Each structure stands twice: as C-alpha cells, then as structure tokens.
Amino acid sequence: MGLKENIEEVRERINRAAAKFGHRPEDITLIAVTKTVEEDRIREAIQLGMKDMGENRVQEMLRKQEAFQGAHLHMIGQLQRNKVRQLPDSVVLVQSVDRLSLLEELERIGIRDDRFFEVLLEVSIAGEEQKGGCPVEEIPSLLDAAEAMTHVRCRGFMTVAPVVEHPEESRIYFKKMRTLFEKNRTIGYNRNQLDILSMGMSHDFEVALEEGATMVRIGTALFGKRS
C-alpha cells in the first residue's frame, strides 16, 4: 500500500479507538515518526497532510531539516544535554525529558538564546529506566522544577510501553499513565499546562487511545518497516 492509503487507514483506526475513550478525532494528534525515512517520503507525507513529525536523533533532524519545511518537529528520542543547543527551531515539543539536568539545560539555553521549550516528561511506567524515562516517584519534583522555570513549560507526559507480544498486555501501563495524568492535572500549576498524553506506537496505538492517549507516535504503520 502507498503512503496515502496507510495514512487514511491509520487515521480511521485512530478515530475508532479514540471514540471508545470518548475522544473526538480533533482531540488526537498523530505524530509521523520519520527516523530513517528519507527526505522524499517526508515531503510526500507533508503534502498528504501530515503536520507533526517525530525524530529521535538531533543529528538526523538537522540533516533532513529542509524536508521538514511546513511541519512541526517533535524530539522523541533520548536527548543528551550537549545537544540541546542544536535543536532546530522547528522543534515544537521535546517529548523525552526525563531528568532534572536536562530540564535545567533547556532553561539555560532558553534564557541564553531567547527560546521557549515546551516539553513532556517521559515516564518509565514499567520501571525499565535503562530505556529512558523517569521513575514515577520523580514526577512531582520534575514538575515542580519545570513550574519554576521561565523558558520551559511542561505540557504533559510521554511513555513508551514495554515490548510485548500482544498489545493488550500494555493496557495496564496505559491505564496507569492516564491515572497519573489525571492526578497531576488536578494540581494547580500556573505555568505547567498538562494537556498532552503521548502514548501508543504502531503495534499498540489502539489500546493506548482506548485508555485516553491524546497523541500517538507512529512510524512503521505509515512508512513500512525500517531497515
């Protein structure tokens, strides 16, 4: 199938699964994950209406920067502190913030370069911290740190569910994330604005949406298997 058909099919599946939670199609943001995808296909995806693209490496974002014109970029991979200053201006959301030192570097570069960073806290909901993501216990202190910053705003949470055979096995993790999201939303933050819950990839996005995801990050189901 071509990219156009893949996008249509994924959107239909998104709408159906989101409706089960009570979300409307416009409540959900689809991120097209373009890591390893070459520039021509990225341009094609943008022409077909894709607006938000996700990449997991700063170097690759920079290399393909031209192709992303007209789209919003999302940083979804582990981010080293020394790469923060290289993030292209088209990055609208840094989804993989999982430690204080990274928040502090974003704030420092924000002040220095007069930039603002919107971020998600990446949460290691299954306790697989070696893969990235903060432990659940660290969420309050990271949110408090972000709240006190002037050039960083936390917009919610991101998670990558563990690799499992059947997506149903991840439902428990998505449920836990939604609960954490709701709980932290009741805290009266002034600057933090917790309205994004980014969870669900090609193999598990329907389960994630049924459990209340507002953003899904999809590569393979749109572009095919990565080599």
Ligand X SMILES: *Cc1c(COP(=O)(O)O)cnc(C)c1O
Q: Residue 23 or residue 217: which is nearer to ligand X going by CB?
A: 217
Q: Which residue has the tokens 């990446």?
A: 122
| Residue 156 within binding range of ligand X, rule CB under 6 A | no
**Minimal distance in Å, beta carbon 141 to ligand X?**
23
**Burial (CB count within 10 angstroms: exposed 0-12, middle 13-18, buried 19+), residue 21:** middle
| Residue 76 within binding range of ligand X, rule CB under 6 A | yes
Total binding residues toward ligand X, as defined by CB under 6 A: 14
Structure tokens at 36: 């390893």
| Residue of this chain nearest to ligand X (CB atom) | 219
* Best CA proximity match to 95, nearest among 111, 78, 107, 109: 78
Per-residue binder mask for ligand X (CB under 6 A), 172-211, x = binder: -----------------------------xxx--------
Per-residue HEC secondary structure of 112-181 comes to HHCCCEEEEEEECCCCCHHHCCECHHHHHHHHHHHHCCCCEEEEEEECCCCCCCCHHHHHHHHHHHHHHH
Q: Residue 64 or residue 217: which is nearer to ligand X going by CB?
A: 217
Report DSSP state, residue 38.
-
Instruction: Select the span of 16-24, 146-154, 180-188, 217-225 touching ligand X (CB under 6 A).
Output: 217-225
- Cα–Cα dist 165/63, whole Å: 34
Q: Is 225 helix (H, G, I), strand (E, B) or coil?
A: coil
Instruction: Select the span of 4-12, 64-72, 97-105, 218-226 touching ligand X (CB under 6 A).
Output: 218-226
Q: Is 96 helix (H, G, I), strand (E, B) or coil?
A: strand
Among 79, 160, 199, 207, interactor with ligand X by CB under 6 A: 160
| Residue 218 within binding range of ligand X, rule CB under 6 A | yes
Q: Residue 96 or residue 192: which is nearer to ligand X going by CB?
A: 96
- Cα–Cα dist 182/187, whole Å: 9
| Residue 56 within binding range of ligand X, rule CB under 6 A | yes
Contacts of residue 168, defined as CB under 8 A and 6 or more positions apart, other chains included, come to 207
Among 18, 33, 152, 154, interactor with ligand X by CB under 6 A: 33
Report DSSP state, residue 214.
S
Per-residue binder mask for ligand X (CB under 6 A), 77-96, x = binder: x-------------------
| Residue 120 within binding range of ligand X, rule CB under 6 A | no
Binding positions for ligand X, rule: CB under 6 A: 33, 35, 56, 76-77, 160, 201-203, 217-221
